[in-house]
Structure 1
């Protein structure tokens, strides 16, 4: 199988590219620069020179040479919208598979550090987070494309090298001397390990249906618990901060994320694909190198 990963130099895209390469498949990855191409080649991934901007046509051509295309990029809204549109049009009628990596940010709720009782299965209605409206529109384009295209919407992805809540709380210690959470710190994200995400992509390629939407979740941890575990690891206090203080620590977008709730249920994923997570305890990663 020929797999083309858009976003192969990122955390999730890189893990996916290595997963399929280790499984004996021929994997190509999009490389915007020569150093990125060299990094991919060193991992046994064939680099493809291109990007989602002025060299987008090269990206689409590479997609058409592959059996499976995985979009796992973190692009700006305009580039993502244009790329998804061109990919779905170009792949129509080819019989190829397109899988779009989204995330639970589309249904994020701004709770200012409070807990939310709301949790969403794949086809439950929800109010779209305004900053993620472009991502929800890209999901809809993929799901309505009329080809073998699917959307995978994981919760907070954790694992070695992740950029999620645990490293962000470690950053708060460097900035303030305390492990910080916003308000009461009861806001909760559903989470999933990167290894379980890569397995899910394999199952989606094998069993997924055209227009399939699949969540990935293994557990939930309030931000305050994460902060308390980081505080214990470093021998500092855990401390509540205000939204304004959070902006000074993490920036405007980071403060929004660290004060929000985003809760999922993986109903269709388990029923249609038989996926079950193997890693459940995100807190177990705290304090490990």
Structure 2
């Protein structure tokens, strides 16, 4: 076992990663910005370290003092790249382990509610998203540091994350029911993000930390459910109706950015490398099991 520093340890995914690593016997330090964040880290079994990515110097020092670093924070894409560039530079030549969290939004395709037959494994070519494809540059930066042997660096690219009432995408549909008295989906609503349960995903980080190949990219996906199906299930749970929205109606309701990157795209993935190379075997295949969780009835998750 060893010591691991987790960036984003107070978040939905980061807290689960912290808990899984702590349960496996790792000594985990979680970066936090507040008393509330300290509590989240401590409850997950980690040791809080107060810091802010906007002030990277002390965090880079802390990273250099750990055997492994997991980046699961959410930041502006340019700021994210700048920090990962500084982090890989600081850790260069140490052979330490680094896992960067990306997301399958980088390969999403705008379909305005239509289904796409395209599905991507880790090594498949794709055209990066016009809107968030810059994260692919950060992926390549991290993987390149692993290819050269400077670090044992890897990228995990999760699909849509769900479980324990924490899926932001599902929460958006519940917000519709509260705000509009119905639940919308764009066009025919046949588009989808492949998905993965947060605990299955956290398990993948543990496997990558212990057995991952330097320079590797690992997908995390275990199921699919299209937007119309989700919308109809949420509507039934809330006692309202689900209905199709045209693009202008969708932008009025969700905003242009959310419509383009969340409600209007198809992002379908497979994870053969994660399964074959790491022996990853997810046990929570059905996102629909999360519908009805009490947290979704709250104003935010």
TM over 0.5: yes
Question: Pick from 236, 242, 245: which aligns with 2:246?
Answer: 242
**1:148-200 CA distances to partner (integer Å, 9 max, x unpaired)?**
00000111000114243211111111121111111000002110000100110
Question: Post-superposition shift, 1:38?
Answer: 4.2
Equivalent residue runs for 1:80-99 within 5 Å: 80-99=80-99
1:47 lines up with 2:51 in the alignment:
no
Structure 1 position 144 matched with structure 2 position 144: yes
1:77 CA displacement:
2.0
Which residue does 1:178 correspond to in 2?
182
Deviation at 1:37, TM superposition (A): 2.8
Query: Are the aligned partners of 2:107 and 2:133 in contact in 1 as well (CA < 8 Å)?
Result: no
TM-score by length of 1: 0.96
1:88-120 CA-partner distances (Å, limit 9, x unpaired): 111122121000011000001110001011100
Give me the whole-angstrom Cα distance separating, in 2, the residues matched to 1:237 and 1:161. Answer: 21
TM-score, normalised with respect to structure 2: 0.92
1:261 counterpart (266, 284, 287): 266
- Measure how far apart 1:7 and its partner are: 0.6
Supply the distance in 1 between the matched residues of 2:161 and 2:272 (Cα, whole angstroms): 18
Given that 1:175 and 1:249 are in contact with CA atoms closer than 8 Å, whether structure 2 keeps it comes out as no
| Aligned counterpart, 1:193 | 197
Residue 224 of structure 1 pairs with residue 224 of structure 2: no
Task: Report matched runs for 1:57-68 at 5 Å.
Answer: 57-68=57-68
Kept in 1: contact 2:15–2:40 (CA 8 A): no
CA distance in 2: counterparts of 1:275 and 1:44, whole angstroms: 23
Query: Does structure 1 conserve the Cα–Cα contact (< 8 Å) formed by 2:104 and 2:157?
Result: yes
CA positional deviation for 1:36: 2.4
Q: Partner of 1:24 in structure 2?
A: 25
Question: For 2:282, which of 273, 277, 286 is the aligned residue?
Answer: 277
Aligned length: 288
Residue 160 (structure 1) aligned to one of 140, 161, 164:
164
**1:134 Cα deviation from its structure 2 partner:** 2.4
Partner Cα separation in structure 1 for residue 130 and residue 239 of structure 2: 38
Asked if the contact 1:183/1:242 (under 8 Å) is kept, the reply is yes
